[in-house]
Amino acid sequence: MFEVHGLTKRYGDVLAVDDLTFAVRPGEVTGFLGPNGAGKSTTLRMMLGLDAASSGTATIGGRPYSAQPAPLKAVGALLDAGAVLPSRTAYHHLLALAASNGIPRDRVAKVLAEVGLESVAGRRTGTFSLGMRQRLGIAAALLGDPPALVFDEPLNGLDPEGIVWIRGLMRRMAAEGRAVLMSSHLMSEMELTADHLIVIGRGRLIADTAMETFIDTHSGREVLVRGPRTDSLRRMLSPAAEVRADGADGLVVTGMDAAEIGALAAKAGLELHELTPRQPSLEQAFMDLTRDALEYHAENTEAADNTENPQNTENTEMMEASR
Ligand SMILES: Nc1ncnc2c1ncn2[C@@H]1O[C@H](COP(=O)(O)OP(=O)(O)OP(=O)(O)O)[C@@H](O)[C@H]1O
């Protein structure tokens, strides 16, 4: 549905997007991830014809955005929720968009109901909260009932109910066969929402893979072990596994599974009080993968404290060349 090929953007000396190639499939929610300044918004703007590419192409359903006869029917997008005339009511904002794209006016009421803004449809958007503006931006994206949707940080400003609603909406849009591309820094939400991930760092593609594969490959599986004799346990497990302390009586072990650790402990006659495989998270996998691509980070962040993950060097293997 979306195809990006060799997409590159230079702003003077800054290479914001560097030879990006990827595709976004229909029927899936694809998460678009990258640290601050990685080039996500620039890529989305080029895909939507809001910025000219220095080189490369971006198409939606085989055509560039500028060649779409009715753009809102081809792709719905929320990039900047603030980009609305403050003096216009929500209803008139959507009505103007519908009129300029040949969309029947009854869609306006439908999308206002869909995003929960019916009761404030007659209010000027200048009086809207950030979350209300986000909902209005989503209504605009849905207006043309398009087969492709792009959302840049759609969760900004949404309350917990709104976040759960967005999750359901994205899943439903994908289940209806649409291609959904969504950027967000909220990893826990992304993990619940996306099927596939495209990760960029410093403008370059660093992963293009299914969510599950991404987490499995980029996050060392950990096992929490507790017992009264952590010193003996540590000696027994390293150097075969990577071991770090967790409180006075615990160890977090990477590189060995719970069964192996349990068997070794039993053989050595070491008492264990806990042996728990820990579910790796998208957040951990993302931080491990993108540590080298961070441009802006504070000192003493958790990312800097994490132990090294030897799998980081295998980033390029994650890219599915066949896609
Ligand atoms: N109009 C512009 N002029 C000059 N540089 C720009 C412009 N727009 C973006 N950049 C630069 O391009 C790079 C990528 O920015 P972009 O906004 O695309 O990143 P991002 O991944 O969306 O970041 P964030 O997660 O912080 O929103 C940054 O170095 C940014 O400073």
> Is the distance from the beta carbon of residue 293 to the nearest atom of ligand 1 less than 6 Å?
no
According to the model, what pLDDT value does residue 310 have? Answer: 36
Cis peptide bond prior to 239, omega within 30° of 0: yes
H helix and E strand count, the chain: 12, 13
User: Are 9 and 16 spatial neighbours (Cβ–Cβ below 8 Å)?
Assistant: yes
At residue 299 the predicted structure's pLDDT band, cuts being 50, 70 and 90, is low
Strand blocks (E) in the chain = 2-11, 14-24, 28-33, 55-60, 75-78, 148-152, 179-183, 196-201, 204-210, 222-226, 242-245, 250-254, 274-278
Rounded Cα gap, residues 211 and 208, in angstroms: 9
Q: Which residue has the higher pLDDT, 182 or 315?
A: 182
At residue 156 the predicted structure's pLDDT band, cuts being 50, 70 and 90, is confident
Give distance in angstroms: CA of 279 to centre of ligand 1.
33
Sequence-ordered list of residues with C-beta below 8 angstroms from that of 276, at least 6 positions apart, any chain: 223, 224, 258
Which residue's alpha carbon is nearest to atom 9 within ligand 1?
42
Using most ligand atoms within 8 A of CB, pick from 17, 20, 41 the residue to mutate for ligand 1.
41
User: Are 280 and 216 spatial neighbours (Cβ–Cβ below 8 Å)?
Assistant: yes
Whether the pLDDT of residue 45 is over 50: the answer is: yes
> Is the distance from the beta carbon of residue 201 to the nearest atom of ligand 1 less than 6 Å?
no
Six-digit token string for 73: 């029917």
According to the model, what pLDDT value does residue 39 have? Answer: 95
Instruction: Give the model confidence (pLDDT) of 162-205 as tens digits.
Output: 899 999 999 999 999 999 999 999 998 999 999 999 999 999 99
> Is the distance from the beta carbon of residue 39 to the nearest atom of ligand 1 less than 6 Å?
yes
Instruction: Give the model confidence (pLDDT) of 217-276 as tens digits.
Output: 777 778 999 999 999 999 999 888 989 898 889 999 988 989 999 999 999 999 999 999
Which residue's alpha carbon is nearest to atom 7 within ligand 1?
11
Sequence-ordered list of residues with C-beta below 8 angstroms from that of 87, at least 6 positions apart, any chain: 124, 126
Six-digit token string for 199: 């990760």
Alpha-carbon distances of 207 from 45, 57, 75, rounded to whole Å: 20, 20, 24
User: Are 101 and 144 spatial neighbours (Cβ–Cβ below 8 Å)?
Assistant: yes
Q: Which atom of ligand 1 is nearest to the CA of 203?
A: 14
Give me the residue label for tokens 């060799």. 6
Share of the chain above pLDDT 90, in %: 68
Give the predicted TM-score (pTM) of the model. 0.80
Sequence-ordered list of residues with C-beta below 8 angstroms from that of 15, at least 6 positions apart, any chain: 8, 9, 203
User: Are 149 and 75 spatial neighbours (Cβ–Cβ below 8 Å)?
Assistant: yes
> Is the distance from the beta carbon of residue 16 to the nearest atom of ligand 1 less than 6 Å?
yes
Which residue's alpha carbon is nearest to atom 16 within ligand 1?
39
Whether the pLDDT of residue 92 is over 60: the answer is: yes
Rounded Cα gap, residues 133 and 117, in angstroms: 10
Alpha-carbon distances of 77 from 71, 136, 140, 226, 300, rounded to whole Å: 10, 11, 8, 49, 36
Q: Is 269 exposed, middle or buried (0-12, 13-18, 19+ CB in 10 A)?
A: exposed
Average confidence score pLDDT of the chain: 88
> Is the distance from the beta carbon of residue 40 to the nearest atom of ligand 1 less than 6 Å?
yes
> Is the distance from the beta carbon of residue 14 to the nearest atom of ligand 1 less than 6 Å?
yes
Q: Which atom of ligand 1 is nearest to the CA of 185?
A: 25
> Is the distance from the beta carbon of residue 11 to the nearest atom of ligand 1 less than 6 Å?
yes
> Is the distance from the beta carbon of residue 83 to the nearest atom of ligand 1 less than 6 Å?
no
According to the model, what pLDDT value does residue 279 have? Answer: 77
Q: How many residues does the chain have?
A: 323
